[in-house]
Amino acid sequence: MNQLVHHQLIYQATVGRTDLGAGAENILSQFLFDLVKEIDMQVLIDPVFKFSHNDAWTGLIGIVTSHISFHYWTVEQYVQLDIYSCKEFDVQKAKAFLDDFWKASEQKILFINREPGKDFVIDKIG
């Protein structure tokens, strides 16, 4: 059995894509399914999305080990995304996948080890 961990990747970036407006639910759904596969996880709860009055997407997918969520502002071309998992995952592989999908620039990425009973360990990812 895998050791239980508490890992969180926080990703924010300027988005270079222009095809993720109000009608992009299918593209974003496939993105979340592909991300789950890329980091070797399993889907627990299918993706849920909402396009808000602020021209922004909110999306969430439950994975067996926790969840992935994001907020994407279409006008500002900006994304914030979190991967939280109790199973280890390849952070560099996740970063490369996210950079490619979002056609990202100006990325800021933090990796947090949130082990219970200990201080958080926070790493900036380049």
Q: Is residue 50 situated within a structural domain?
A: yes
Smallest Cα–Cα separation from 31: which of 102, 93, 87, 79?
A: 102
In a domain, residue 102? The reply is yes
Is residue 118 one of the residues assigned to a domain? yes
In a domain, 2, yes or no: no
Could you identify the residue written with the tokens 């991300």? 35
Domain residues for 20? 7-124
pLDDT band at 63 (very low <50, low <70, confident <90, very high): very high
Residue 1 lies in a domain: no
Other C-beta atoms lying within 10 Å of the C-beta of residue 70: 23
Q: Domain containing 41 — which CATH number?
A: 3.60.90.10
The rounded distance, in Å, linking the Cα atoms of 99 and 95 is: 6
Nearest to 40 by CA among 99, 93, 4: 93
Could you tell me the pLDDT band of residue 123, with boundaries at 50, 70 and 90?
confident
Phi, psi of 91 (to 5 degrees): -65, -40
pLDDT at 90: 94
How far apart (Å, rounded) are the C-alpha atoms in residues 126 and 123?
Answer: 10
90 within a domain of the structure (yes/no): yes
The structure's pTM equals 0.92
The 10s digit of each residue's pLDDT in 13-54 is: 999 999 999 999 999 999 999 999 999 999 999 999 999 999
The reply to whether 23 falls in a domain is yes
Distance separating alpha carbons of residues 109 and 3, to the nearest angstrom: 24
Query: How many domains does one find in the chain?
Result: 1
- Quick: pLDDT tens for 91-121: 999 999 999 999 999 999 999 998 888 888 8
**Does 60 map to a domain?**
yes
Check residue 21 and give its pLDDT: 94
Pairing of strands 78-85, 7-14: antiparallel
